[in-house]
Amino acid sequence: MGMMKEALLALPRVALMVPKLAADKRVPLRTKLALGGLAVYIASPWDLVPDFIPVLGQLDDAVALLLFVDGVLNQIDDDILLDHWRGSPTTLRNLQWLARQTARWIPARLRALLFGKAVEAGEAAARSSKRLRASSA
């Protein structure tokens, strides 16, 4: 099976792993905030490139996911990742490799900016969640 097809088929497993990583005490707060930011980005109707533009509209989501994998999942200790991964470790390794290769094509400053934006979105979501809990208490 092709590497890209394998990565696309692994995305549901990545989606299932995100909340588990967010709840894991071993994962650093900054990484958890980036996880929250990714969830906000994926759920948001706003994209860098609108989805109605064929191919490019979906490509920005794929690139964002691969940058997330490179910026977050390649930074988390392997033991933690494997505790939460529900698939073949080889698939996870292939996904991490593909993410690293994709990230090489994106300038480091842009990667840092996007990761920072994900952290900011995660912080905003956390603040909003706290306000909702406080108002319902």
3-state secondary structure string, the chain? CCHHHHHHHHHHHHHHHHHHHHHCCCCCHHHHHHHHHHHHHHHCCCCCCCCCCCCHHHHHHHHHHHHHHHHHHCCCCHHHHHHHCCCCHHHHHHHHHHHHHHHCCCCHHHHHHHHHHHHHHHHHHHHHHHHHHHHHC
Tokens of 75: 């930074």
At 25 the pLDDT is 94
The neighbour count for residue 18, using CB atoms within 10 Å, is: 19
pTM: 0.67
Cα dihedral sign, 58-105-85-123: negative
Distance CA 107, CA 109 (A): 6
Distance CA 86, CA 105 (A): 29
pLDDT tens readout for residues 20-39:
998 999 998 888 888 877 77
pLDDT tens readout for residues 53-73:
666 666 666 667 777 777 777
Mean pLDDT of the residues in the chain: 77
Structural domain spans, the chain? 3-136
